[in-house]
């Protein structure tokens, strides 16, 4: 999903820094963007590391002259019941999905202030809005935390021209959902809960992120954009 967002932003003229712990994949996407005439750089980024975030923001400022948009997209999943979840499993998901968004936001705000404002787009989930019996407690808790962290950020920095919004995708065709989609019973169960009857595509999320990052969303902050095929309308 992050790759789809980066490609779309570059297509629209953005200069992008891509960050990931998957270095080969990240460098490949940056090289693809550059080969098509875009301007992209890759930096190794563990979102749970303050120093990695500082390096990523510094690269954006040094190479492109400032930072105007942050998309917090990194995430991990899990599937377990409350009583079967270990503290270590809880911490792993919360560290990446919630703490990672906090650290990224915290690192980006000074650069955005220097740039005269900016837009922070945090990828949550439809499971940050509603509960379900087929995911883990830590995944839903982490995505709910992203939703409210986004609102607090929006309120604290609105007067500085820094907007913050969350995006709530339903099940999307990505490597994260590949295992569940490959299991016929699980796939059918998930599709049965989506009124549109299908999984979403990464590009469908990317277009929503592009809107929130753009000047067309200049009066939108502290909001949720739900892209879930109708899951949460039920």
- Residues linked to residue 120 through DSSP beta bridges, in sequence order: 70, 164
Residue at 39 is within a domain? no
d(CA 2, CA 219): 25
What are the residue numbers of the active site?
Answer: 139
Residue at 223 is within a domain? yes
Task: Round the average pLDDT of the chain to a whole number and report it.
Answer: 95
Total structural domains within the chain: 1
Residue 40 has pLDDT above 90, yes or no: yes
Q: Write the CB contacts of 170 (distance below 8 Å, at least 6 apart in sequence).
A: 125, 126, 194, 199, 200, 227, 228, 229, 231, 232
The pLDDT tens digits for 137-165 are 999 999 999 999 999 999 999 999 999 99
Report pTM. Answer: 0.94
Phi-psi region of 119 (alpha: psi -120 to 50; beta: other; left: phi over 0): beta
Residue at 14 is within a domain? no
Residue 176 has pLDDT above 80, yes or no: no
Residue at 144 is within a domain? yes
Residue at 59 is within a domain? no
Residue at 211 is within a domain? yes
The pLDDT-based confidence of 201 (bands split at 50, 70, 90) is very high
Mind giving me the DSSP string for 112-170? HHHHT-EEEEEE--GGGTS--SSS-HHHHHHHHHHHHHHHHHHHHHGGGTEEEEEEEE-
The answer to whether 33 and 51 have CB atoms below 8 angstroms apart is no
Query: Residue 134 sits in which domain range?
Result: 68-233
Residue at 138 is within a domain? yes
The pLDDT-based confidence of 50 (bands split at 50, 70, 90) is very high
The pLDDT tens digits for 88-143 are 999 999 999 999 999 999 999 999 999 999 999 999 999 999 999 888 999 999 99
Residue 168 has pLDDT above 90, yes or no: yes
Residue at 48 is within a domain? no
Query: What CATH number is associated with residue 133?
Result: 3.40.50.720
Mind giving me the DSSP string for 162-200? EEEEEEEE-SBSSGGGHHHHHSHHHHHHHHHTSTT-S-B
Its sign, for the CA torsion 170, 208, 163, 71, is positive
Question: For strand 162-169 and strand 15-20, is the pairing parallel, antiparallel, or unpaired?
Answer: unpaired
Residue 47 has pLDDT above 80, yes or no: yes
d(CA 41, CA 26): 9
């Amino acid at each position: 999903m992050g790759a789809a967002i980066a490609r779309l932003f570059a297509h629209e003229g953005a200069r992008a820094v891509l960050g990931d712990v998957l270095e080969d994949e990240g460098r490949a996407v940056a090289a693809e963007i550059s080969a098509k005439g875009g301007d992209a750089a890759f930096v190794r980024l563990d979102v749970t590391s303050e120093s990695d975030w500082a390096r990523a923001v510094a690269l954006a400022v040094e190479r492109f002259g400032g930072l105007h948009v942050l998309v917090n997209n990194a995430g991990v999943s899990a599937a377990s019941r409350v009583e079967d979840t270990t503290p270590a499993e809880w911490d792993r998901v919360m560290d990446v999905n919630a703490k990672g968004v906090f650290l990224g936001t915290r690192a980006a705000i000074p650069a955005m202030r220097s740039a005269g404002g900016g837009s922070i787009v945090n990828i949550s989930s439809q499971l940050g809005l509603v509960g379900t019996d087929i995911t883990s407690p830590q995944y839903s808790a982490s995505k709910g935390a992203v939703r409210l962290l986004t609102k607090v950020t929006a309120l604290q920095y609105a007067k500085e021209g820094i907007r913050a919004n969350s995006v709530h995708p339903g099940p999307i065709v990505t490597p994260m959902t590949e295992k569940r989609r490959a299991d016929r019973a699980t796939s059918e169960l998930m599709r049965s809960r989506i009124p549109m009857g299908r999984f979403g595509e990464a590009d469908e999320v990317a277009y929503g992120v592009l809107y929130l990052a753009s000047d067309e969303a200049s009066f939108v902050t502290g909001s949720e954009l739900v892209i879930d095929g109708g899951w949460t309308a039920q």
